[in-house]
Structure 1
């Protein structure tokens, strides 16, 4: 297998990791590769596919083993590397329909793209999301916000 350059390495790692994540019913949210050859950190951000409490430690460990084995077999990341598998965390930006669906029932702030004007932030409970829009139950009633208008969303933390 030809070695990818630094700009394509995250995409190539994603390509190898995605079927393994899907096999475990895990959503591969993001892939990052940082550092120089011999000291790289390969970071996979993974979450449960549906709404809920996220991944358990056993599933994260299994994904880590499977991806690590494939990376070692293919030598896609030359030299020494550290593989980290982590969950997105409460403060990670929500951008995809799946991100919002996962947070159904939670209060979120939806930040609209700057060029759309005010009000830029809408707060409400996520009641649904599809490929076109996110639906929030706001203080003024239900609001459907087109995904094309959203810069990002974030979960409102209870503290």
Structure 2
């Protein structure tokens, strides 16, 4: 079995190098075509940290990984390989619990298994439940929307009931975000209903800080 097929040494090497830069390996993608194979390493901050990975740090980790690959053919084999290190794109779907823990404080677009759509801010991941605050956004004239009558602003949603979830890009996070996160980590979230109705349309998407970095080629 080739190094590209096994990936054991690649993952071990990448994990060690990334850890020295305060990063973790999220995923390995192998793309094969008619030319040089492409190996894409998706990296991120540890799940107990908020915010986005510093792009300069990711670039430094990319250079260190390229050096490690060039120094040891056991990592990716002896044939030329195009190695790319990048952060998760903003359009990545949240599927694993660690994805949600990394998204604390972010505005999410969620769809439940029952088909209910939510636009809500993720305040905390408590075991297998999400603590959320619904934020309906604004209409096409910029006016704040209101939650439907009888709808609870705060709610808890089991991860098992989430069918799809993505982070929404914001130009201006709420002014009370730090207070919200401090409140939810310092005390139990306020009791809230698990049921919710469609909160309405979301804000328009904006630019993202998740950016690909220059790839490095391992020469034979």
User: What TM-score results when the alignment is normalised by the length of structure 2?
Assistant: 0.59
**Unaligned runs of at least 5 residues, structure 1:** none
- Once the 2 structures are TM-superposed, how far is the Cα of residue 45 of structure 1 from its aligned partner? 1.2
Structure 2 unpaired stretches of 5+? 135-146, 171-203, 205-220
The CA deviation string for residues 122-156 of structure 1, in whole angstroms up to 9 with x for no partner, is 32101011442222112522222222333341012
3-state SS of paired residue (1:64): helix
User: Aligned ranges for residues 136-155 of structure 1 at < 5 Å?
Assistant: 136-138=132-134, 139=147, 140-155=152-167
User: Given the alignment, which residue of 68, 71, 79 partners 1:70?
Assistant: 68
1:59 alignment partner in structure 2 = 57
Residue 13 of structure 1, aligned match among 10, 15, 25: 10
Equivalent residue of 1:93, what SS?
Answer: coil
Q: Structure 1: which 4+ aligned runs deviate by more than 6 Å?
A: none
**Matched ranges for 1:1-150 at <5 A:** 3-4=2-3, 6=5, 8-9=6-7, 12-35=9-32, 39-49=36-46, 50-52=49-51, 54-75=52-73, 76-78=75-77, 79-112=79-112, 116-119=113-116, 121-138=117-134, 139=147, 140-150=152-162
Give yes or no for contact 2:4–2:30 (8 Å, CA) kept in 1: no
Aligned-residue Cα RMSD (Å) equals: 2.4
Q: Which has the bigger relative contact order, CA under 8 A and spacing at least 6? A: 2
